[in-house]
Amino acid sequence: MSFVQSAPRLAHPYRDDRVLNAWLAHTLPSARLEAMRPDLDALADYALMAWDRRCRTPRTEPVLTQWDAWGSRVDRIALTPAWEEGPDITTRHAVLAAGHAGSPWARVEEFARVYLYHVASEFYCCPLAMTDGAATALHASGNRALIERALPHFLSRDPATFWLSGQWMTETPGGSDVGRTETVARQDAEGQWRLYGRKWFSSAVVGEAALALARPEGAGNGTATLALFYVETKDETGAWRGVTIDRLKKKLGTHELPTAEIHLDGLPATPVGPLDHGVRQIAPMLNVTRTWNAVCAVASMARAIALARDYATRRSAFGARLIDQPLHARTLADMQAEYEGAFSLTFHVAELLGRVEHGEHATHEAALLRLLTPLAKLWTAKVSIRVVSEALECFGGAGYIEDTGLPQLLRDAQVYAIWEGTTNVLSLDMLRALSAGLAPLRQAVDELVPDDGTPARHTVVAALDAAEALLGEVAADRASLEASARGIAFTLARTMAAALLLRSARWGAATGDLRPAAASRRFLARGLDRLALPDNEDDSLLAGDGAAAM
Ligand code: MFK
C-alpha cells in the first residue's frame, strides 16, 4: 500500500483555545464563567461532531419548492441538517438569550457562544445575528407592544416558541445606498399598513419575522423619509402572508444559507416608531449584526488555523514535519498573530457593547464603541479572508479539494467583507463616528498601554499621531477625506488591536505564558500604519480609463 496522508484533526474548540480561555478568564467574574462553561463545552462538542459529519457526508443545500403537486403556491424551503438543529442548539445553550441577560457581561457571554457555534452552524448564525439585532433595535425603540410581542420569541429558551427575524433592507437600486429603497408602505381601508415591493437579498427568508425599511406612500425621496416596520411573515396555518419567494440566490459561498429574492404584496406591517428616519431606527440592529460579523470572521480564522496547525504536525516533506520547517512555522506564527489581534479587537467591542447597554461604561466608552464597531467589522473581514486563504495554502493541493472541507472556509469568509456594509461603506461610517474626534481612542490606548517609554508604546502612539495628522490634512476636502478613509480605518483598527495585545502580553507574563507577548511583538513588527496613500489625481488616472491616458 502506498503512503496515505492522515487528515487534520480538530482540537477541542473551547478547551484547547488558549486565546478564548485567557480572554474570558480576565474579563468575566469567575462565578459567571463557571456558570457558562457547560454551554461552551456543549457548543464546542457540537462543533467537533459537525466537523466530523461534514467530513463524512456529502454536503446538502437548501431547496426551494414553489408549487406543490396540486398546483398550490407553497414556497417551501427544505433546510440542511445543521439548520434543522439550529433552533434546538440556539435555545438550549441560550446563544441569543445570554446576550440580553441584563448584565454588563452579557454580550461577552453571548459572543463566546457565537464564536464556538458559528462554523458548525453553517451560517445559521446569520439569521441569529439579525434576530439579535432586531431584538436590540426593538428594545431601543421603546415600542412596548412590539417588545412584548416579539422579544419572548427572539430570546426564547424553548425551540417550540423560538422565532428568527430577517433584516430586509437590500433592494436592486440600494445595496449600500439604502436611501434608494423602492418598497412602499400603504395603509388599507382599515388603517393596516401593508408593504409592496421587492427585496433583493433576504438572507434569512425562513424567519418568522423581519424588520423592513419601506417608504410610506407619498413620502419624498432619500434616507430620512424611510420608515421602519416590523412584520410577521406567516399566518397561523404557516402560509406566507403577502410574501412570494422568487428564487434562492446562487452564491460564491454560504451555500447552506437560504438567501432569497422575494416579492412583498400586501404584507401586514407595524411601524416600529415614527414614520420617518427608519435608518436611524434600524442602526442599533446594524451595529449588532456588524459585531456578529466580526465574531464570525474571527471564528472562521480560528477554525482554519486550528486545522492548519494540526496538519503541520502530521504532514512531512523533504524529511521533516511541516511544523519543524522554519518558513512554515513562521507562516503559521504570522497567521496566529493577526488572528489574536482580530480576536482582541472584536471581543473588546463585545465587552464595550455590554457595558454601554447597561450604563456601566466610562464617559468616553460610548463614542469608543461607536468608532470601534465599524473598525472591527471591516478589518476582521479582510484579515479573515487573508488568513483563511493562507491556511488553505498550508495544505498544498489538498486545500483546494472540496471534500477536505477546506475550500468552503475560504468561500464563506469572502462574505464577511460584503455583509452588513462593504469595507468602503464601513470606512465611511467610521468618518461619521470620528466626528467625535480621536480622543476616545487615545484615552483607551493610554489606559491599555501606559506611558512607560517602551518602543511598543512609541509605535502605538506614532500610528495614532500619523492618522490624526492625515485626518487634519484632508479634513477640509471631502473627496480627499473619503479617499483616505480606508487607510485611516485599517490604521486605527490595527492600533487598537496592538494596544489590546500588549495588555494580553502582560496577562500572559503574570502566569508565565510567553505566547501572548510573542503575538504582540509579531503583530507590531508587521506595522500599524496603513496610511500611505497616493493623491486623488492618481486615483482618477488609474481607476478610470487608463488606456486612453497612455
Ligand atoms: C454570520 C455573521 C452575521 C452577519 C449578519 C448577516 C446579515 C446579512 C444581511 C445584510 O447584509 S443586510 C444589508 C446590510 N446593508 C447595509 O449594511 C447597508 C450599508 N449602508 C450603510 O451602512 C449606510 O451607511 C446607511 C444605509 C446606514 C446610511 O446611509 P445614508 O443614506 O447616507 O444615511 P445617513 O443620512 O448618513 O444616516 C441616516 C441616519 O442613520 C443618521 O442619523 P440621523 O438621522 O440622526 O442624522 C446616521 O447618523 C445614522 N447612522 C447611520 N449608520 C449608523 C447610524 N447610527 C448609528 N450607527 C450607525 N452605524
Stated pTM of the model: 0.97
User: Please, are residues 496 and 463 in contact by the beta-carbon 8 Å criterion?
Assistant: no
Query: 229 CA distance to ligand 1 centroid (A)?
Result: 16
Topology of the domain comprising 165-279: Butyryl-CoA Dehydrogenase, subunit A; domain 2 (2.40.110)
Predicted pLDDT at 257: 94
For residue 175, the one-letter residue type is: G
Spatial separation of the C-alpha atoms in residues 29 and 104, rounded to whole Å: 11
SS3 477: coil
Closest approach atom of ligand 1 to CA 170: 13
C-alpha cell at 203: 438572507
Name the residue ranges covered by the structural domains of the chain: 165-279, 437-549
- Cα dihedral 46, 308, 334, 44, rounded to 10, equals 10
Q: Which atom of ligand 1 is nearest to the CA of 287?
A: 59
Look at residue 547 in the predicted model and tell me its pLDDT.
Answer: 58
Separation CA 52–CA 391 (nearest Å): 19
Report the distance separating Cα 408 and Cα 465, nearest Å: 40
Indicate which atom in ligand 1 lies nearest the CA of residue 373. 59
* Distance (Å, whole) CA 128 – CA 207: 10
Contacts of 76 (CB under 8 A, 6+ apart): 64, 65, 68
Residue closest by Cα to atom 46 of ligand 1: 280
Ligand 1 lining (C-beta closer than 6 Å): 123, 125-126, 129-130, 167, 169-170, 176, 178-179, 203, 223, 277, 279-280, 283, 286-287, 289, 292-293, 296, 419-421, 425, 429, 432
Note the pLDDT of residue 182.
87
Query: d(Cα 326, Cα 323) in Å, to the nearest integer?
Result: 8
Query: Closest by alpha carbon to 117, among 146, 96, 135?
Result: 96
CA 499–ligand 1 middle distance (angstroms) = 28
Of the candidates 421, 419, 412, 413, the residue with the CA atom closest to the CA atom of residue 485: 421
**How far does the centroid of ligand 1 lie from the alpha carbon of residue 50, in Å?**
34
The terminus-to-terminus CA distance of the chain in angstroms comes to 60
Span 54-105, pLDDT tens digits: 999 988 999 999 999 999 999 999 999 999 999 999 999 999 999 999 999 9
Mean pLDDT per 10-residue segment, the chain (550 residues):
91 97 97 98 98 91 96 95 97 98 97 98 97 98 98 98 93 84 94 95 87 94 95 94 95 94 96 96 97 98 98 96 96 98 98 97 96 98 98 97 95 96 97 93 96 93 96 93 96 98 97 96 95 73 63
Please list the residues that pair with 317 across neighbouring strands. 320
Q: Which atom of ligand 1 is nearest to the CA of 125?
A: 1
Q: Tell me, what's the pLDDT at 262? A: 94
pLDDT at res. 549: 47
pLDDT, residue 548, reads: 54
- Going by C-alpha positions, the residue among 136, 268, 254 that lies closest to residue 212 is 268
Residue 176: closest CA among 486, 540, 479, 428: 428
